[in-house]
Amino acid sequence: MHQTLLLCLSLMVAVSLLVMIGQRLRIPTPIFLVLGGLALSLFPGIPQIEIDPDLIFLIFLPPLLYEAAWFMSWKEFWRWRRIITFLAFGLVIITAFAVAYMSSTYIPGFTLALGFLLGGIISPPDAVAATSVLKNVKVSKAAVSILEGESLVNDASSLVVFRFALAAVLSGSFVWQKAATDFFLVTLLGIVVGLAIAVVFYCIHRWLPTSTRISILLTFLAPYIMYLTAEEFHVSGVMAVVSGGLFLSNQSHVILNHSARIQGTGMWATVVFALNGLVFILIGLELPVIINSLGDYSKMEAIGYALLITFVVIVTRLVFAVVSSIFTRFIGRYITVAQRNPGLRGPIIIGWAGMRGVVSLASALSVPLTLSNGQPFPHRNLILFITFVVILVTLVFQGLTLPLVIRWVNYQDPNPRIPEETQESKIRLKLQKVALQHLNENYTAELADNELVANLRSRIESDLRQTKRHLDSLENDGDMLALYNHILGEILSVKRNELHRLRGRQEFDDEVIRKEEARLDLEEEKIDHPIH
């Protein structure tokens, strides 16, 4: 027990150090963590770590999916729903077909069912890898929204393909009609289970006397309950978490108070950082175990098969992205689509952003050691090795070259949007006008007699004037805004130093000091990272 705890603490320290070094070198975090894990696995004395797939599916996957669904814009998801559906379902199935055909044709002894099993394993891209890379480059909001939406759904479709293919290998039979029907039922019922549990949590938040801490705890429990309940009914736990997370996120303004939202955001950011860091470094640390389990295959032979399948996966996604663009242009003549002429530049970026990750590795590791008759599972070691190489090549090669592809393609969003900071100022302006109007219309007497209410109106009017000037500076003079932010930052620093001095005085409680410190933190956050 002590050794396991020490190993977990050591991994978290390694994750933190690697993330800091990766940020200094400007290398996307998932890529650097995998490479760091590979380097650590080569050090003498490092224990070989075998990932338990149940650990990934049960402990890591629900909160990671829930967090992604929580912060996914429903508006963007619905706007790009068709291309997201095509990528999340159509591309997964087509990739499984392509991998099944190539592997059964060129790998000796590989059956079509084993090929579909491998296709289901390596078909879903990893959202964290793609979005981590895209954070460091200028790319359209549409591309990011499509990739995030796809990643929410494709894990479900790939896991369903994987399970049906695994059942076919274990039983020796496969009925297409039954598989297709079960595929839609498992997906649809997973959504129903997720929404049903989300409604229960909505009622608890809405009508029971929950505190801030209880509300945050409930948001952490929700994805696990959704996932476990769906899996208990043998439907898609992934779709349950995604659908439930989207619903509760859309109602967060009703079910959570301001404290729960602020504290919950910090809690979830830390939890997701730790989980993502662990799973990516574990991918790298898994290399010696996978290589040692190759068995009868030579390393060069296995590498050749793995590179062939990787090539098939990359090309299939690129071709599908380009064909979907052409199809969108054709179908746009008959139905309403979000973008009638997407061109080829955007699809090339989406096609190249197909980095694989932890779900693929967990699926491969969950392949059983033996068949139902006790015989060894055919080609299990090779399936594991191919999966690892696909993850490594797509994550490192495509991840590092994606910024170059984006600059080479030079894709311009056909529907340019108002800059976020300008949007925020316009929204703030409207809110202040509504607040001022409400005061003037409903509290005329109080404004004349109550000094506090009068001061409230003065403060709103001052904020209104300041926001107008801020908006004007955004639209006309950026230097004025930069100087304002610089001076405001200095003022906050002075306030923080004085607060630190007051902390040592007995007349002020630490709790009061911490509250004021949190207020200064929010003010400073508005300068560095405007709150959305």
- Given pLDDT bands bounded at 50, 70 and 90, which one contains residue 160? confident
Between these two residues, 226 and 327, which has the higher pLDDT value? 226
Residue 252, token pair as written in the block? 């967060």
Q: Which of 132-146, 188-202, 255-269, 360-374 has the highest mean pLDDT?
A: 188-202
- Given pLDDT bands bounded at 50, 70 and 90, which one contains residue 416? low
- Given pLDDT bands bounded at 50, 70 and 90, which one contains residue 532? very low
Q: Can you tell me the mean pLDDT for 334-349?
A: 69
Prediction pTM value: 0.79
Q: Can you tell me the mean pLDDT for 331-342?
A: 61
Whole-angstrom distance, CA of residue 15 vs CA of residue 298: 32
Residue 35, token pair as written in the block? 């490479």
Q: Can you tell me the mean pLDDT for 109-129?
A: 84
Whole-angstrom distance, CA of residue 353 vs CA of residue 154: 14
φ/ψ (deg, to 5) at 224: -70, -40
Q: Which of 98-102, 498-502, 511-515 is the least confident region?
A: 511-515
Q: Can you tell me the mean pLDDT for 496-517?
A: 74
Identify any residues that bridge with 370 across adjacent strands, giving them in sequence order.
376
Question: So what's the pLDDT on residue 340?
Answer: 62
Does the CA dihedral 250-254-255-256 come out positive or negative?
Answer: positive
For the purposes of burial, counting CB atoms within 10 Å of the CB of 12, is it exposed (0-12), middle (13-18) or buried (19 or more)?
middle
H/E stretch holding 210 reads none
Is the model's pLDDT at 288 over the cut of 80?
no
- The fraction of the chain above a pLDDT of 70, given in percent, is 86
Long-range pairs, 47-54, Cβ under 8 A, ≥24: 47/7, 48/288, 48/289, 48/292, 49/7, 49/282, 49/285, 49/286, 49/289, 50/286, 50/289, 51/282, 51/286, 51/361, 51/362, 51/365, 52/365, 53/362, 53/363, 53/365, 53/366, 54/366
Q: Can you tell me the mean pLDDT for 507-512?
A: 71
Residue 153, token pair as written in the block? 């759904």
Question: So what's the pLDDT on residue 405?
Answer: 86
Between these two residues, 174 and 257, which has the higher pLDDT value? 257
Whole-angstrom distance, CA of residue 477 vs CA of residue 216: 42
Q: Can you tell me the mean pLDDT for 180-186?
A: 80
Q: What is the DSSP letter of 234?
A: T
pLDDT 10s digits, 53-66:
777 778 888 898 88
Whole-angstrom distance, CA of residue 245 vs CA of residue 226: 9
- Given pLDDT bands bounded at 50, 70 and 90, which one contains residue 219? very high
Question: So what's the pLDDT on residue 531?
Answer: 38
DSSP 81-95: HHHHHIIIIIIHHHH
Whole-angstrom CA distances from 440 to 215, 261, 426, 435 are: 36, 30, 21, 9
φ/ψ (deg, to 5) at 356: -90, 165
Whole-angstrom distance, CA of residue 174 vs CA of residue 417: 49
Whole-angstrom CA distances from 252 to 28, 153, 206, 221, 256 are: 30, 21, 10, 16, 6
Q: Which of 98-107, 110-119, 190-199, 358-367 has the highest mean pLDDT?
A: 190-199
- Given pLDDT bands bounded at 50, 70 and 90, which one contains residue 530? very low
- The fraction of the chain above a pLDDT of 90, given in percent, is 13
Give me the helices (H) in 109-175, please.
112-122, 127-134, 141-171
Is the model's pLDDT at 450 over the cut of 60?
yes
Whole-angstrom CA distances from 290 to 207, 344, 360, 479 are: 51, 38, 14, 56
Whole-angstrom distance, CA of residue 323 vs CA of residue 80: 16
Question: So what's the pLDDT on residue 82?
Answer: 82
- Given pLDDT bands bounded at 50, 70 and 90, which one contains residue 306? very high
Question: So what's the pLDDT on residue 211?
Answer: 87
Residue-range domain boundaries for the chain: 50-409, 420-528
Question: So what's the pLDDT on residue 313?
Answer: 94
Whole-angstrom distance, CA of residue 18 vs CA of residue 28: 11
Question: So what's the pLDDT on residue 150?
Answer: 85
Is the model's pLDDT at 103 over the cut of 80?
yes
- Given pLDDT bands bounded at 50, 70 and 90, which one contains residue 196? very high
- Given pLDDT bands bounded at 50, 70 and 90, which one contains residue 481? low
Whole-angstrom distance, CA of residue 220 vs CA of residue 240: 15
Whole-angstrom distance, CA of residue 27 vs CA of residue 396: 10
Question: So what's the pLDDT on residue 145?
Answer: 82
Identify any residues that bridge with 63 across adjacent strands, giving them in sequence order.
none
Which position has the token pair 């070198």? 25
Average pLDDT, the chain: 81
CATH class of 50-409: mainly alpha
Question: So what's the pLDDT on residue 317?
Answer: 93
Question: So what's the pLDDT on residue 1?
Answer: 61
Q: Which of 161-165, 385-389, 422-426 is the least confident region?
A: 422-426
Q: What is the DSSP letter of 60?
A: I
Q: Which 3-state string (H, E, C) describes 444-496?
A: HHHHHHCHHHHHHHHHHHHHHHHHHHHHHHHHHCHHHHHHHHHHHHHHHHHHH
Whole-angstrom distance, CA of residue 87 vs CA of residue 64: 20
Is the model's pLDDT at 204 over the cut of 90?
yes
Query: Comparing C-alpha atoms, which of 126, 142, 124 is closest to residue 88?
Result: 124
φ/ψ (deg, to 5) at 370: -130, 160
Question: So what's the pLDDT on residue 484?
Answer: 67
